[in-house]
Structure 1
């Protein structure tokens, strides 16, 4: 995904999904460190304290404490954080979630597939885009 030194922030409360994401990133040879936070509140705290901002945030919407939409609302209001690219990676098929996420400036919205091969291909697509995309 961008510079190997830059971490990827994964906001995900499901431990199986965290393991699946780690496995998929390893399989497609993404070497960026993966930082995992279980909810938006933890993710926001990590972002505000991080010495090295992430090159990308992978965001689940359905999390306890602070969900993905609430997290996006906070991040997009913060001048220091608002330009970090965020991709929603969720099981939510609700049109309202999609519309609200894009209204809040996400870079992409991908449904998590229960099929591991499809999930790997989704991660490969994300990697291909962020590897070639130029950011300010």
Structure 2
């Protein structure tokens, strides 16, 4: 199925890209979440407008992304979570929890969809996550999960 991405999807592309995916993935994941719309000739005009707007903003965004990267990497972030005596969490730490902790620590507001964690966080300790700020700029966020 041919689709137009309306939001950035890490494994597929950026907003405005035209992609071809399997029908089930489109119907069950991309379309219900509003991450893509079906491709049409009229939609192609929207793609052209999105692409043009993205090119104009790209130069300004990369400078801003580099400054935000410096803020994020220097920020001491602690995520509070309920844990048992052995240090195992009741549940797991989500990307939304990490974004909220960065904001609470005095950092910038982050989109939880731009945060990538390599493994599920289910115990106390120090972890790292990658924050995609721009297509060319990614920050490494170091944070600690502490008991609440």
- TMscore range, shorter length: under 0.3
TM-score (ref. length: structure 2)? 0.21
Which protein, 1 or 2, shows the higher relative CO under an 8 Å CA cutoff with sep ≥ 6? 1
Greater helix share, structure number: 1
Higher strand share: 2
What's the TM-score once normalised by structure 1's chain length?
Answer: 0.22
